[in-house]
Amino acid sequence: MQRREFFSSFSSLLEKNKEEASKGVVYPPYNEDISLFTDECKNCDAKCASACEENIIFIAKDATPYLLFNTSGCTFCDACAEVCEFDVLKVENRHYIQADISISQSACLAWNDTMCFSCKEPCLDNAIIFDGLFKPIIDKDKCTSCGFCISRCPTNAIELTIIRKKNEHI
Question: What pLDDT digit, counting tens, does each position of 80-118 carry?
Answer: 999 999 999 999 988 888 899 999 999 999 999 999 999
pLDDT per position in the chain (170 positions), as tens? 554 454 444 444 334 333 333 447 899 999 988 889 989 999 999 999 999 999 999 999 999 999 999 999 999 999 999 999 999 999 998 888 889 999 999 999 999 999 999 999 999 999 999 988 889 999 999 999 999 999 999 999 999 999 865 434 33
- The C-alpha atoms of residue 15 and residue 6 are separated, in whole angstroms, by 15
- For position 138, what pLDDT does the model report? 96
Looking at residue 32, what is its pLDDT? 87
**C-alpha span between 43 and 59 (Å, rounded):** 13
* Spatial contact of 49 and 67, defined as CB atoms under 8 Å apart: no
CA–CA dist 10, 70 (Å, integer): 34
Distance between alpha carbon 122 and the CA centroid of its chain, in Å?
A: 17
pTM comes to 0.78
Phi, psi dihedral angles at 16 (to 5 degrees): -65, -45
Q: Determine how many CB atoms are found less than 10 A away from the CB of residue 133.
A: 10
DSSP characters for 68-137?
Answer: --SS------SHHHHH-TTSSB-GGG----SEEEEE-TTT-TGGGT----TTTTT-TT--EEEETTEEEE
